Amino acid sequence: QQPVQSPQAVILREGEDAVINCSSSKALYSVHWYRQKHGEAPIFLMILLKGGEQKGHDKISASFNEKKQQSSLYLTASQLSYSGTYFCGTDYSGYSTLTFGKGTMLLVSP
Amino acid sequence: DAGITQSPRHKVTETGTPVTLRCHQTENHRYMYWYRQDPGHGLRLIHYSYGVKDTDKGEVSDGYSVSRSKTEDFLLTLESATSSQTSVYFCAISEGGSGRMDYEQYFGPGTRLTVT
């Protein structure tokens, strides 16, 4: 039950905004967001928990709709460094394992 | 940066040979994970460990085995490598635990494995 990410790819100019969505067909305990640059390891961005608690990057915001089992990552005033592939990871069990989506590729150009 | 290393970083091997990848951490984290990453599939969990000698299967565990005899080391073994196991393998660690959801995962640098 891999979560579905949309869009698959986004191209932005520096300073523009983007929203990346993650949708699940199953109930979630939490949603995690990671960013990966080409040839590098994924790095942690944010965790969103049931009940509204969040933890993570202070320059990136996200939301978690528990009723719809959806999360959205908001990238505002994008910078060149935001380029990369964004993955959402969903925790279905509450036992510290994640199922990742296929990723959303973001390219920010000058 | 979390202290995670993977070895080897690159490996080319022939079909049918055994291969062992090593993940080493210096953070004393309880959980360790092995993922594979392939184009179009994202990150898929192979096996994970929630303590020394405690392991469990992930979604793509067929053809792989793991062992964890020390907190800091988690080994992934391909008993008889096949071309379909050509991939980039990432190890990750976290402080996770039962009922705990606020656990970020930290990833190692990855191992690129090619099976010819």
Question: For residue B24, what is the enclosing H or E element?
Answer: strand B19-25
Q: Which among B42, B32, B91 has a CA at the least distance from the CA of A86?
A: B42
Between CA B40 and CA B42 the distance in angstroms is: 6
Give the side-chain half-sphere CA count within 13 A for A79: 3
Q: Which two tokens stand for residue A45?
A: 């961005």
**B71: buried, middle or exposed (CB in 10 Å: 19+, 13-18, 0-12)?**
middle
A contacts of B36 (beta carbons < 8 Å): none
Domain boundaries, chain A: 4-109
Helix (H, G, I), strand (E, B) or coil at B70: strand
**Residue A19 distance to chain B (closest CA, Å):** 19
Those residues with Cβ within 8 angstroms of residue B39's Cβ, 6 or more apart along the chain or in another chain: none
Strands B31-38 and B87-94, sheet pairing: antiparallel
What was the pLDDT predicted at A24? 94
Select from B9, B33, B37, B43 the residue whose CB has the most chain A CBs within 10 Å, as the one to mutate to test that interface.
B43
Q: Which two tokens stand for residue A25?
A: 């067909």
> B4-115: which CATH number, 2.60.40.10, 3.90.1640.10, 3.40.50.720, 3.50.50.60?
2.60.40.10
φ and ψ of A107, to 5 deg: -125, 120
**Residue A23 distance to chain B (closest CA, Å):** 15
Q: How confident is the model at residue A32 (pLDDT cuts 50, 70, 90)?
A: very high
Determine contact, residues A93/A27, Cβ cutoff 8 Å: no
Domain boundaries, chain B: 4-115
pLDDT tens track for B19-69:
999 999 999 999 999 999 998 889 999 999 999 999 999 999 999 999 999
B contacts of A89 (beta carbons < 8 Å): 43, 105
Q: Look at residue B1 and tell me whether its pLDDT is greater than 70.
A: no
**Residue B14 distance to chain A (closest CA, Å):** 24
Using CB atoms, which residue from B41, B97, B108 is nearest to A41? B108
A35 touches chain B (CB under 8 A): no
A4-109 sits in which CATH class?
A: mainly beta
Q: Look at residue B90 and tell me whether its pLDDT is greater than 90.
A: yes
Own/partner contacts of B48-55, CB < 8 Å, gap of 24 or more, are B48/A97, B49/B74, B50/A95, B50/A96, B50/B96, B50/B97
Which chain A residue is nearest to residue B38, measuring alpha carbons? A102
What was the pLDDT predicted at A36? 97
Interface of A with B in 75-94 (CB under 8 A): 87, 89, 91, 94
What was the pLDDT predicted at A28? 86
Between CA A3 and CA B61 the distance in angstroms is: 19
CB contact under 8 A, A102 and B110: no
Using CB atoms, which residue from B40, B41, B101 is nearest to A30? B101
Q: Produce one character per residue of A77-94: b if its CB has 16 or more CB atoms within 10 Å, e if not.
A: ebeeebbbbbbbbbbbee
What was the pLDDT predicted at B53? 93
Interface of B with A in 76-95 (CB under 8 A): 90, 94
